[in-house]
Amino acid sequence: MILIDPPLVPRYDRWWSHLVSDVSYEELHAFAREAGIPERGFHRDHYDVPKQRYDAVVAAGATEVSSRELVARLRAAGLRRPKG
């Protein structure tokens, strides 16, 4: 399943969400391509999505979850790649 958390992270004068899959990176990359999210937005285990694109990504099929749930689901799937 493709998951997105609320745009709560400020950076570069924008607010950002995180887009992940709790199934596979292949699913995540395929969804991102279909949704028009550039590859440069991928970081370790997620795509950064600007607030301005949030509604369109949800309309494309991403499921809205809290940031806490997003990380928990990523960890449970064995797909979390922490920094360091």
Query: Does an H or E element contain 73, and which?
Result: helix 67-76
The domain tally of the chain equals: 1
In a domain, 57, yes or no: yes
Contacts 24+ apart (CB under 8 A), 8-11: 8/67
- Which pLDDT does position 82 carry in this prediction? 82
pTM listed for this prediction: 0.94
Question: At residue 75, does pLDDT exceed 90?
Answer: yes
Mean pLDDT of 68-75: 96
Query: Does an H or E element contain 49, and which?
Result: strand 46-50
In a domain, 83, yes or no: no
Question: At residue 76, does pLDDT exceed 90?
Answer: yes
In a domain, 42, yes or no: yes
The predicted-structure confidence for 3-62, as pLDDT tens digits, reads as follows 999 999 999 999 999 999 999 999 999 999 999 999 999 999 999 999 999 999 999 999
Query: Does an H or E element contain 2, and which?
Result: strand 2-4
Domain assignment of residue 47, given as a range: 2-76
Q: Are 28 and 47 in contact (CB under 8 A)?
A: yes
**In whole angstroms, what is the distance from residue 17 CA to residue 40 CA?**
15
In a domain, 36, yes or no: yes
